[in-house]
Amino acid sequence: MGDKIKALWRKTLWAWSPESERESSESIVKNFWLHWFPAKVARASMDWNYSFWLGTASASLLMILTVTGVMLMFYYVPSTERAYGSIKDLEYAVSFGRLLRNQHRWAAEGMVAVVYIHMARVFFTGAYRGTRAINWVVGVILFLATLLLSFTGYLLPWDQLAFWAITVGTSIAKQAPVVGPTIQFILLGGHEIGQQTLLRFYVLHVFFLPVFVLVLFAYHMWRVRKDGGLAAIEGVRHERAMAPKATPKTKSYSLFGITPGTSVQVMSSTGLEESDQVFSSPNMSRRIALVFLVVFNITLLAALLFNAPLEGLANPSVTPNPAKAPWYFVWLQELVASTTVRMGGFTVSGALLGGILLPGFLLAVLSLWPFIDRSSLRTEGRWLAPERRRQNVTFALATLAIIVLIVVGVYLRGPYWRIYWPGQPRPEMPRLY
């Protein structure tokens, strides 16, 4: 009996723990969940110290967010009258509702951070050259979509943070030249924030943006494969190009596994030697599972230790003092608060300059960077290549500037958005809303 169960177990799950090279290669073809992996991956691609597996961590967070998000949808009601109450229900009346919301919230904030750090890794390793430039641009769009998902997400509880974030966010949109007022009207579903607004942001958050991200994520992964794997392999490739060519082997690997018999030599898309590669199953599949479990447990731990913030019920009349955006947007708040330019009788609002033009410029430069980078291809896939020092310093300084603005916004800004140094007493503000 025990042997029979063991045999059945093996029959169902052999693909996840292949016991021979043949099973390793066949698992990719015969298992649906593994079929989107290449049969073999470069050792260099899987180096923990090269990529830190940040992309996999981002994808894990996306998965956690999708599942916890769908579960929250069973209780959340996108109505201005009931939204806040349904969040309170999740917190106090639903078993583990608070845990789910906490995990959703911390995974979301984690995703913003991890996706950005993933982008920084790709930048510092110069991994966006050649055909990978397309994936860089896709990545920038995915980062933007991550921010939009966060924004539309924290609007849904219909608390003070939500209401005033919509007010400020859509007022920034209104400042866009020519089309601004129309965009604001369409986003709000009217001239004022109301039921239409909440419903629109809800549908954006639970359908349009997630589907957009999932489709783009699939394309992102497909491109990684088309580009031959991570840029880390380019270093190996450069080494191999200099080494004398090995004699071709008679046994060869196609994209999907071992090609039976002595066939035509099939070059793998990476152009790497056999010794540089390992089977995806189990070498990559196990690492992905490990990264997912680590990420999952970190978000779970955060959810157990810290509660997701929830402010008072939205009051359309009284703004909290100070009204602060979440940390990943607070640098934009600093920008819109300090970039109004006055020259004589002519005024350019900070909402346009710091809210639209400056972030738009940063995004454009970021997207076009692979096409600006003129360093030699030898820097490709190498951490902090000396030839790219100026580029890396530029990126690091821009990141540092954003972090400084975030620290100022989060820790130093007090009532009426004034600076209060640590230790300086802050006036007590009546919380009458």
Partner 1 sequence: MDSDRRKILRFIGKGSVLAAFLGQIGAAGRAFYPNVLYEPPSRFKLKRPNDYPDGYTFVEAHRLFVIRQKEAFHVISAICTHLGCTVQWKDTEFDCPCHGSRFLPDGTVISGPAPRPLDWFATTVSPDGFLEVDSASDVARDFRLLVGKGKA
One-letter amino acid for residue 253 of the chain: Y
CB 124 within 8 A of CB 395: yes
Alpha carbon of 355 to those of 38, 207, 324, 358, 360: distances in Å?
A: 43, 26, 15, 7, 8
CB of 418 to partner 1, least distance (A): 6
Q: What is the C-alpha to C-alpha distance for residues 390 and 240, in angstroms, rounded to an integer?
A: 29
Check residue 318 for interaction with partner 1 (CB under 8 A): yes
Among 66, 283, 349, 367, binds partner 1 (CB under 8 A): 349
Total of chain residues touching partner 1, rule CB under 8 A = 37
Of 34-42, 98-106, 108-116, 192-200, the window that binds partner 1 (rule: CB under 8 A) is 192-200
Q: Which two tokens stand for residue 312?
A: 């008072």
Q: How many Cα atoms within 13 Å fall on the side-chain side of residue 223? A: 18
Determine how many CB atoms are found less than 10 A away from the CB of residue 411.
12
Query: Read out DSSP for 248-313?
Result: PPSSEEETTEEESSS-PPPPPTT---GGGEEEHHHHHHHHHHHHHHHHHHHHHHHHHHSPPP--SB
> Which helix H or strand E contains 202, and what residues bound it?
helix 195-203
Among 23, 137, 189, 273, binds partner 1 (CB under 8 A): 189
Check residue 78 for interaction with partner 1 (CB under 8 A): no
Q: What is the C-alpha to C-alpha distance for residues 420 and 40, in angstroms, rounded to an integer?
A: 56
Q: Kindly tell me which of 418 and 426 has the beta carbon lying closer to partner 1.
A: 418
Determine how many CB atoms are found less than 10 A away from the CB of residue 75.
15
Q: Which two tokens stand for residue 366?
A: 């970021």
Q: Kindly tell me which of 134 and 348 has the beta carbon lying closer to partner 1.
A: 348
Among 289, 298, 337, 410, binds partner 1 (CB under 8 A): 337
Sign of CA dihedral 354, 358, 363, 364: positive
CB of 414 to partner 1, least distance (A): 10
Check residue 428 for interaction with partner 1 (CB under 8 A): no
Check residue 424 for interaction with partner 1 (CB under 8 A): no
Phi-psi region of 251 (alpha: psi -120 to 50; beta: other; left: phi over 0): beta
Check residue 405 for interaction with partner 1 (CB under 8 A): no
Check residue 312 for interaction with partner 1 (CB under 8 A): no
CB of 209 to partner 1, least distance (A): 16
Q: What is the C-alpha to C-alpha distance for residues 21 and 303, in angstroms, rounded to an integer?
A: 41
DSSP 159: B
Check residue 416 for interaction with partner 1 (CB under 8 A): yes
CB of 42 to partner 1, least distance (A): 43
Check residue 421 for interaction with partner 1 (CB under 8 A): no
Among 321, 367, 375, 399, binds partner 1 (CB under 8 A): 321
Check residue 340 for interaction with partner 1 (CB under 8 A): yes
CB of 429 to partner 1, least distance (A): 8
Q: Kindly tell me which of 288 and 337 has the beta carbon lying closer to partner 1.
A: 337
Q: Kindly tell me which of 322 and 359 has the beta carbon lying closer to partner 1.
A: 322
CB 146 within 8 A of CB 111: yes
Q: What is the C-alpha to C-alpha distance for residues 311 and 326, in angstroms, rounded to an integer?
A: 12
CB of 174 to partner 1, least distance (A): 9
Check residue 327 for interaction with partner 1 (CB under 8 A): no
Check residue 418 for interaction with partner 1 (CB under 8 A): yes
Among 263, 338, 376, 424, binds partner 1 (CB under 8 A): 338
Site for partner 1 in 141-180 (CB under 8 A): 164, 167-168, 171-172
Check residue 333 for interaction with partner 1 (CB under 8 A): yes
Residues that bind partner 1 (CB under 8 A): 164, 167-168, 171-172, 185-186, 189-192, 194, 196, 316-323, 333, 336-340, 347-351, 355, 415-418
